[in-house]
Structure 1
């Protein structure tokens, strides 16, 4: 089963969530079609974002949040305690590094997608919640249900797919969504 196919155990709300997520993943993958590794590393805007870096970042975000569903805040770093070196390492998730390839990060993304799909399809309840990790952007210290985490993964993927569309159009005129 590929990440674009429906998980056989998913039905109802879970099938809907996975279908929406699969669609957003496809937009991102389509944005990087037929690129060389050098093109995937190229900045085309004032932003630091690159196409390869976006795929790598979205993969890491999805993996981390899926792990959060199972392990709670222990799956996330303590953002308030991160050092400058930690932040620099975190920033590498936004870059296709010299020893990485676009095909390699796409393969990793496919694996993450399969694992997330399996988790969403087989969770006992989408209502199960975990307290959010300590982070400057989580001021209210609330908790998120598995459903809300999946919706967050969908939103992140959609947002970055839009970024990828702009970067790709700036790179070579190809469009993803229009």
Structure 2
């Protein structure tokens, strides 16, 4: 597969292609790791590659649920929550500027501990103990990679079924990371936010992986995807003797 996103012909294709590419990059950081390595943190913080992938899966699930909830619950005026053509951002009045960055916990404040659980109106992040960003003792890297693949497939299927990227997506009630005047986003905004979220955590994962065994992105991706004619040497595990 190509190292960069192929040319795109329209907005929807661009958004979904860039989200898919950032997912590839995040998954590549886990290639060849053991469960023990996937739990390793590179700093005084708690971020680990396994935890970041776990968080990314839950984050996609949270936003997909919001889109589906809006589709299931027509507005009081009988509309379906859409606002016309794809040229709309699905916002109203003061919401049109998307002045909120939709940040939550680590994404806005830099503090992973400030995340709230998905059940009380957050982005699906873990509680104040930071559990969203680490593998539990009964979780494996294979578990979270499978969950991420399933969440990604679900997101893609839901987006395919949305005719208008301007369709409204409601703000979770009581979400502390959203200005009070913002009542809704659009599906377009959600896709942009997922790209932002995945790219940010992919960068975190890059640094963690390099601290574990020195592996970097291009060699990992070439190895993970078995590029037929790689222009970089694909990553290989170190020999048992460390040579």
TM normalised by structure 1 equals 0.82
The aligned residue for residue 159 of structure 1 is: 200
The aligned residue for residue 131 of structure 1 is: 170
The aligned residue for residue 99 of structure 2 is: none
The aligned residue for residue 41 of structure 1 is: 39
In 2, Cα distance between the equivalents of 1:152 and 1:140?
19
The aligned residue for residue 91 of structure 2 is: none
Identify the match of residue 14 of structure 1 among 6, 12, 15: 12
* Structure 1 residues not aligned, in runs of 5+: 1-10, 81-85
Deviations 1:36-76 (A, max 9, x none): 0000001121221001000000110011011111215x9x5
Give the number of equivalent residue pairs: 161
The aligned residue for residue 127 of structure 2 is: 87
The residue matched to 2:169 in structure 1 has which SS?
strand
The aligned residue for residue 146 of structure 1 is: 187
Is 1:113 the equivalent of 2:152?
A: yes
Moved over 3 A (4+): none
The residue matched to 2:60 in structure 1 has which SS?
helix
Query: Quick one: higher RCO (CA 8 Å, sep 6+), 1 or 2?
Result: 1
In 2, Cα distance between the equivalents of 1:176 and 1:64?
28
1:45–1:170: 8 Å Cα contact kept in structure 2? no
How far did residue 79 of structure 1 move?
4.5
The residue matched to 1:130 in structure 2 has which SS?
strand
> Comparing both structures, which one devotes a greater share of its residues to helix?
1
Identify the match of residue 77 of structure 1 among 100, 119, 122: 119
In 1, Cα distance between the equivalents of 2:61 and 2:121?
17
